[in-house]
Structure 1
Amino acid sequence: MSLRAFFSTVVGGLVLLTVVAATLLVVLTTALERMASTLSESVEGVRQAEELEVDLLVHSRMVALPGSPILADPSRGRSPPQIESDLRRQMVEMHATASTQEERYMVADVQTQVYAYLHAQQAPLGAGFSQAQHDAAAMASLDAALRSLERLIQLNVDQAQEARQSATYWSEVANLLGLVLGLLLLTTLGLVIFWLRRFALRPVTALRHAMAGFGRGGRHLRAPEQGPLEIRDMAHTFNEMADSLTHQQEQQLAFLAGVAHDLRNPLSALKLSTALTGRGEVTPERMQRTLALVRRQVARLDQMVGDLLDATRIEAGKLELQPQVRDTRELARSVVELYQSGDSGHMLELVVPDTPVLVRADPARLEQVLNNLVSNALKYSPSGSRVEVSVRGDAEQVVVAVADQGIGMSPEDLKNLFVPFQRAGNAKQRAPGVGLGLSVSRRIIEAHGGRIEVESQPGQGSVFRVHLARVSSSAGPPEPPAPSDDEEPAGVMH
């Protein structure tokens, strides 16, 4: 699991938890508000019913005992007609504040009973209808109205108790949900901390220790590739880098050993030549042979040192070019003529077009590349075989090819052909060198904006092709080559 996926999951879970908590809070708040409203309405209904009940009792007593100082209503100073008006107003208010259908039915029943009471009180005495009967009918209507009010009061009390119980229940639910959400939040944070410490911080610590130990010289140390995807990628990248650095160090040690061995051979030859010169009579023929041997060994040392210097300049980014517009045919011809003048034992051929093929390049560096390719072709080809140097061009580019009939290379050898200090197995036995020539040649051509390609098969020879951008004839005539007295192939690298 990657860190991005982990934190996305954690953030998503926290967002979901927050949304759930907010939704529950809204629901609980709405429910408690509704219950509070119900409780308030119930209290108001009880107050109105009790007030109506009191007014009915006061009215009945004032009608039954008019003028009584004890039962008068001095606090309000109301008369029975005023009380009757208040009764009608209160019933209208009760009907308006009724919140449930059942309560509306009870209020309507109360209104019917109260109106029946008032009608019974206001009914005139008639024949066969005595005062006692009139009072009994009024009292019966009053009792019915009071019973209806008691039922209405009981209904409001029941609603108030139900609202209170619901409020208590939802309060407990809210407390429980708050406790559960709090535990979930704490559990989530604990799991996040545990996961980070076990699966993220521990691999990071191991990676840091591996890097620190590798920096102190522990070349065998590697980071464990475990934990989140990003940390595994970092550990894998570090391990690859450590393997590459270790391999480079091994290559450097092998290179130093090879350079020491290659330097020892010419130095031993020089030492032996000088020792032989000091013994016995020195004849002119012996001196000539000794000088020729010394010249070849010095040239070999000069080539090796030149290879190392060029590789150092390239790696330091200090390769200086002096580009000129030159005819590629002339550069190739000068290289071929240089090797044709010696006894190489090969058939060296030059194939060029009839018209100029212009490029903008450093002629010395380009000749250095061609010298290296031709020299390698001669060294790694059997005596008497043909080596062909050809130049061709189209409207956009120039291709200089060097083809031989030598030992060739396998696909595995081609993979590391241009790697510094790398030489194919057959090449190591066929000719000495430090393995810098092709690497430096490729960097020189790339500095000109070109590229080198190679085709080869074991036992069937190789073809190296140098691709460079072509310059049109309108760019000007090619510049003449600078005079040189050097008779040796300059810049030949191996």
Structure 2
Amino acid sequence: MASHELKTPLTAIMGFTELLEKRARLIKDPKIRLYIAAMGTEVDRLYGLVHDMLDTSKIRAGKLEIFRSRFDIGNLIDEITTDMRLLDTKRPIVAAHPSPLYVQGDRLRINQVLTNFLTNAVKYSPKNSIVNVSASKTGQHVTVSVQDFGIGIAKNQHQRIFDPFYQGKSPYQLGRGLGLGLYICAQIIKLHKGKIWVESQPGVGSTFFFSLPRS
């Protein structure tokens, strides 16, 4: 697949861009500094797109590997929300969960799912509106949810939003991406024998959920 061939030169481009960003403070012209910063942002975005394409290729070939272990998902939630608060100070992120809260799963891949949910929630929420992240025990599973008070999603898109390359009217699929993020999340949770879904109302907000087997 073309995405494999893109990865090596893209890694080199990222390396050179990082060097430019480190030296940018020595450049007097503010426009050039701005151009370098913009280049770094676009290279990061391209890197994310290539990884989405690689993951999609692996999923369709049945080769996306899941490395299960016992881990505290509450700890993972705290790590991700702390990082997101540093990146976005305009939207309070509130995390609530019992501790410890152990699950069986691939910590790296669950990080990918939760980061996608939280990034979308922050991106499509009004400034100063709260984003809630919670986790709780539900029988033999742990359910994690990310709630925002953004513009919401029409009911007829609740299932299709997890389809690959779907570019509906939902803000969670529109934009400059390929429409693969939520599809990859759904497939990761499926490989964990869990569930993924969304509850949303236009003008009110959205809550994205996934569940995993308890450990």
Q: Same fold (TM over 0.5)?
A: yes
Alignment counterpart, residue 191 of structure 2, candidates 441, 447, 458: 447
Give per-residue Cα distances to partners, 1:94-144, cap 9 Å, x unaligned: xxxxxxxxxxxxxxxxxxxxxxxxxxxxxxxxxxxxxxxxxxxxxxxxxxx
- The alignment status of 1:350 with 2:62, answered yes or no, reads no
The CA deviation at 1:395 is 4.5
- The alignment status of 1:406 with 2:126, answered yes or no, reads no
Bigger drift between 443-452 and 287-296 goes to 287-296
The CA deviation at 1:430 is 6.2
The CA deviation at 1:291 is 2.3
Alignment counterpart, residue 427 of structure 1, candidates 166, 171, 190: 171
SS at match of 1:417: helix
The CA deviation at 1:329 is 0.3
Unaligned runs of 5+ in 2: 1-16, 18-23
SS at match of 2:57: helix
Match of 2:6 in 1: none
Alignment counterpart, residue 291 of structure 1, candidates 36, 42, 52: 36
Give the direction of change, closer, same or farther, for the CA distance of 1:310–1:285 in structure 2 (3 Å limit).
Answer: same
Note if contact 1:344-1:378 (Cα within 8 Å) is conserved in structure 2: no
Instruction: Write the distance in 1 (CA, Å) between the matches of 2:75 and 2:175.
Output: 29
TM-score (structure 1 length as normaliser): 0.37
Instruction: Write the distance in 2 (CA, Å) between the matches of 1:453 and 1:428.
Output: 13
Note if contact 2:124-2:171 (Cα within 8 Å) is conserved in structure 1: yes
Specify the code of the residue in structure 2 equivalent to 1:380: Y
Note if contact 1:379-1:431 (Cα within 8 Å) is conserved in structure 2: no
Relative to its length, the structure with more strand (as a share) is 2
- The alignment status of 1:365 with 2:105, answered yes or no, reads no
- The alignment status of 1:385 with 2:129, answered yes or no, reads yes
- The alignment status of 1:340 with 2:85, answered yes or no, reads yes
The CA deviation at 1:338 is 1.1
Give per-residue Cα distances to partners, 1:419-450, cap 9 Å, x unaligned: 11113314289632111111110100110110
Instruction: Write the distance in 1 (CA, Å) between the matches of 2:84 and 2:213.
Output: 26
Relative to its length, the structure with more helix (as a share) is 1
Alignment counterpart, residue 418 of structure 1, candidates 156, 162, 177: 162
- The alignment status of 1:315 with 2:60, answered yes or no, reads yes
Cα RMSD (Å): 2.0
Match of 2:119 in 1: 375
Instruction: Write the distance in 2 (CA, Å) between the matches of 1:284 and 1:356.
Output: 51
Specify the code of the residue in structure 2 equivalent to 1:403: Q
Match of 1:190 in 2: none
In the TM superposition, what are the counterparts of 1:148-167 in structure 2 within 5 Å? none
Instruction: Write the distance in 2 (CA, Å) between the matches of 1:343 and 1:408.
Output: 20
Instruction: Write the distance in 2 (CA, Å) between the matches of 1:401 and 1:367.
Output: 13
Residue correspondences, number? 191
Match of 1:462 in 2: 206
Instruction: Write the distance in 2 (CA, Å) between the matches of 1:426 and 1:466.
Output: 19
Match of 1:302 in 2: 47
Note if contact 2:152-2:203 (Cα within 8 Å) is conserved in structure 1: yes
The CA deviation at 1:411 is 1.4
Match of 2:11 in 1: none
Which one has more relative contact order, counting CA pairs under 8 Å at least 6 apart? 2
Give the direction of change, closer, same or farther, for the CA distance of 1:457–1:341 in structure 2 (3 Å limit).
Answer: same
Match of 2:9 in 1: none
Unaligned runs of 5+ in 1: 1-269, 271-276, 472-494
The CA deviation at 1:343 is 2.8
In the TM superposition, what are the counterparts of 1:27-38 in structure 2 within 5 Å? none
Give per-residue Cα distances to partners, 1:445-472, cap 9 Å, x unaligned: 110110102111111111111111101x
TM-score (structure 2 length as normaliser): 0.82
The CA deviation at 1:306 is 1.0
Instruction: Write the distance in 2 (CA, Å) between the matches of 1:381 and 1:295.
Output: 25
Instruction: Write the distance in 2 (CA, Å) between the matches of 1:344 and 1:438.
Output: 25
SS at match of 2:133: strand
Identity among equivalent positions (%) equals 36
SS at match of 1:425: coil
Bigger drift between 327-336 and 407-416 goes to 407-416
In the TM superposition, what are the counterparts of 1:252-291 in structure 2 within 5 Å? 283=28, 285-291=30-36
Q: Choose 1 or 2 for highest CA Rg.
A: 1
Note if contact 1:379-1:430 (Cα within 8 Å) is conserved in structure 2: no
Match of 2:4 in 1: none
Instruction: Write the distance in 1 (CA, Å) between the matches of 2:140 and 2:112.
Output: 23
Give the direction of change, closer, same or farther, for the CA distance of 1:323–1:334 in structure 2 (3 Å limit).
Answer: same
Alignment counterpart, residue 76 of structure 2, candidates 321, 331, 335: 331
Bigger drift between 427-436 and 443-452 goes to 427-436
SS at match of 2:87: coil
The CA deviation at 1:298 is 0.5
Give per-residue Cα distances to partners, 1:322-361, cap 9 Å, x unaligned: 11110010111111111101135211111111x3110111
The CA deviation at 1:394 is 4.0
